[in-house]
Amino acid sequence: MNMKTKVYLAGGMNQSNWQKNVIESINSENFIFYNPREHSLTDSTEYTFWDLFYVKQSDILFAYMQSDNPSGIGLTLEVGYARAMDKSIILIDEKSKVDKNFAARFEIVRESATIVFDNLEDGINFLKKIMNGITLPK
């Protein structure tokens, strides 16, 4: 039986729709993606429940801190929760390159990740390597 790797997509909900880009770039039947952009929940109690429920279900947290993300508070919660459950975390941190004050505060999140990239393309390429059988450490 072929088990699918479950990936939670954590990060901003701006107009870029980066989540769709990730899913389409991978284009694999080996992954199940949990995409919070698609749940359409607006009540904070409901979307927080949904987010944490699916972080718990996931094998990998794919977290994208875009340079224009105003705070990253939700992403920070999701990374911390995933770390507490010993999930593999792929973090793409574009914001720390352009905002040194943010970088100093975000270092704890970077340290909590399994692996960190500074651009989305590198993160997607790494996810493709996992699709091709490279084992990701915890």
Residue 130 has pLDDT above 90, yes or no: no
Task: Return the pLDDT at 71.
Answer: 87
In whole numbers, what is the pLDDT of the chain averaged over residues?
A: 91
Q: Which residues are 7's β-sheet partners?
A: 33, 60
Q: What is the pTM of this model?
A: 0.92
Taking only the tens place, the pLDDT of each residue in 65-123 is 999 988 899 999 999 999 999 999 999 999 999 999 999 999 999 999 999 999 999 99
Q: How far is CA 41 from CA 1, 4, 36, 126, in A?
A: 34, 26, 9, 30
